[in-house]
């Protein structure tokens, strides 16, 4: 597969990533996270318990990401 990334808009790239991720999730149900992922999740849970981090609404997070890449 060959993508002409320099010719793709940011919106096209994000849509492609979503399509790819959806396909991976659908076709590899036994896909497991890498070992380092557990460490990161535990670290984030600890920060939440300590009040050093907070949750962000998913819709707002997507808007913030979108704004940062434009």
Instruction: Encode pLDDT of 1-28 as tens digits.
Output: 677 888 999 999 999 999 998 988 888 7
Distance between CA 6 and CA 20 in Å, rounded? 19
Joined together, the tokens standing for residue 4 give 């002409």
Residue 48 Cα to chain centre, angstroms: 19
How high is the pLDDT of residue 28?
Answer: 78
Supply the pTM of this predicted model. Answer: 0.44
30: burial class by Cβ within 10 Å (0-12, 13-18, 19+)? exposed
Please provide the size of the chain in residues. Answer: 70
């Amino acid at each position: 597969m060959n993508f002409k990334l320099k010719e793709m808009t940011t919106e096209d790239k994000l849509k492609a990533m979503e399509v790819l991720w959806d396909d991976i999730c659908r076709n590899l149900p036994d896909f497991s996270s890498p070992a380092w992922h557990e460490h990161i999740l535990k670290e984030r849970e600890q920060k939440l318990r300590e009040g050093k981090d907070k949750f962000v609404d998913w819709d707002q997070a997507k808007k913030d990401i979108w704004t940062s890449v434009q």
